[in-house]
Amino acid sequence: MIKALIARIKQGYRTMEFPSPEIKLPPRFLGLPEIKAAGLEKAAAACPYAAISAQAGTLDLGRCVFCGACAKASPAVKFTKEYKLCAGSREDLVLGRDGARRARPVPEDLRRILGRSFKLRQVSAGGCGACEADCNVLGTLAFDLGRFGVQFVASPRHADAVLITGPVTKNMALALRKTYDAVPAPKLVIACGACAISGGPYSGHEECPGIPADIPVDLYIPGCPPHPLTILDGILRLIGRVE
């Protein structure tokens, strides 16, 4: 026990400042893509999930799994180190050459209701575990989600929002519905990861119908999986803690 305490003291303060311009991401990190018209056909042909439309000159972040195949095939696509990827509508995830439109915070009256506390109930609706793991990382020493007043809770009746990961399989559709119905109003819904947003690799599969149309999504966080910083930025942007 004493050795553990000594080791912890030597580590010092480990929680990162957020938001901060000092945040450094690894060289292999693929963030917000930039696209150009010339050569987009090759990039579209290389995309395994049809996220790029050469004809329209667009890239759909909701379908993109950030594999980097398009950038390797053509200089028309370049991935930056920008981790701020969230959007408030499905349409805003479709990038043109004019760049991205980030999510805006919920209305002021709802922010007053939430106060300084925001509770999330996560539903893993058939996911592989990657998005779930990056959500769990937010509770560690480095990110410390709780310092912002945000916590994951066990019961939907204690939650303000449902955070959905995975493509929402038929087997998980009822569980998601019951969870959503159990969250007291007013409530928010967050689709986290390519699978939750568009089906990802399972898009169009009959066993993965996706989030029901009558469950309104308030925040989309793209990625496969989204980086913990991307998730953190999206959540805090939704409740007006960052701009």
CATH of the domain at 152: 3.40.50.12280
Closest CA to 219 of 232, 233, 235: 235
Are 58 and 116 contained in the same domain?
no
d(CA 46, CA 103): 29
d(CA 162, CA 217): 9
Are 131 and 190 contained in the same domain?
yes
User: How many other C-beta atoms lie within 10 A of the C-beta of residue 133?
Assistant: 13
CATH of the domain at 50: 3.30.70.20
Tokens at residue 101, please? Answer: 């439109």
Are 78 and 146 contained in the same domain?
no
- The crossing angle, in degrees rounded to 10, of helices 130-137 and 228-238 is 70
In a domain, 21, yes or no: no
DSSP-derived letter for residue 15 is: P
In a domain, 243, yes or no: no
In a domain, 103, yes or no: no
Q: Which domain holds residue 38?
A: 33-82
Question: Of 82, 116, 147, which marks where a domain is finished?
Answer: 82
Are 130 and 65 contained in the same domain?
no
Q: What are phi and psi of 120, to 5 degrees?
A: -115, 135
Are 41 and 153 contained in the same domain?
no
Are 148 and 208 contained in the same domain?
yes
In a domain, 208, yes or no: yes
d(CA 189, CA 238): 11
Are 222 and 183 contained in the same domain?
yes
Tally of domains in the chain: 2
In a domain, 203, yes or no: yes
d(CA 1, CA 23): 33
Are 218 and 115 contained in the same domain?
yes
In a domain, 125, yes or no: yes
Are 75 and 133 contained in the same domain?
no
In a domain, 93, yes or no: no
Give this prediction's pTM. Answer: 0.93
Are 128 and 220 contained in the same domain?
yes
d(CA 231, CA 135): 7
In a domain, 88, yes or no: no
d(CA 190, CA 29): 23
d(CA 192, CA 204): 18
Q: pLDDT per position in the chain (243 positions), as tens? A: 788 888 777 777 778 999 998 898 999 999 999 998 888 999 999 999 999 999 999 999 999 999 999 999 999 999 999 999 999 999 999 998 677 788 999 999 999 999 899 999 999 999 999 999 999 999 998 999 999 999 999 999 999 999 999 999 999 999 999 999 999 999 999 999 999 999 999 998 999 999 999 999 999 999 999 999 999 999 999 999 987
